[in-house]
Structure 1
């Protein structure tokens, strides 16, 4: 093995503390992203709520003041989670990418569009199943 190639490999290698430090930085970035979108979701929670109850034939009622707070925090959390999942996938990819060979990188890059398409399809599927099947079922208990 040539000396310059060996030196290049040693520069790319990290010790355990370096890996943990990089992982910590990526986790902090993901947490900041989640908190940012949680706050944005909380700011626009009334608009999001109106979107979901737009086509309902009846008015939703809450049994206590705590229910409204719980609904607002749950909806804000879902907004934060939905906005964070793509960033989480990207950060995982960026963390693992240096350990992959060129052939493994090329093979795994093909999964990125599929991940995005399946994520959007899952959101649409969940929304349609909830609004067309689950919600009418529970609303029928009145």
Structure 2
């Protein structure tokens, strides 16, 4: 049964187009739109939790998400993800065995003993744009311009 696109809300149409893009990028064939696929339950974003109602938790999540988007390790994971996904589809047992072997090797060698606390903190804070992050955070916290007395 075809879905009448004039009846759908903008959020539902956006979800339809996103789903079509994801399926196209993953190499799936296009399938006809069913009404069951676009029910409000499947279109809605993640549910709000108790922590989402606390302002500083929400701001903390935004800060961490922004930090991760700008971190150099994020770029490396985005480059490696398509290769690993393809390898996982073709040879899942070998991938699990390689992951287990890597984990065992890390436990035996314990490379974290060679790092100082300063090196770990520097690696975590390394972003391509730390000044912009600080400036953005300062602008978000100050709602009105500060006026110094004469």
TM-score between both structures, scaled by the size of structure 1: 0.27
Q: Which has the higher contact order (CA 8 A, sep 6+)?
A: 1
- In proportion to residue count, which structure has more helix? 1
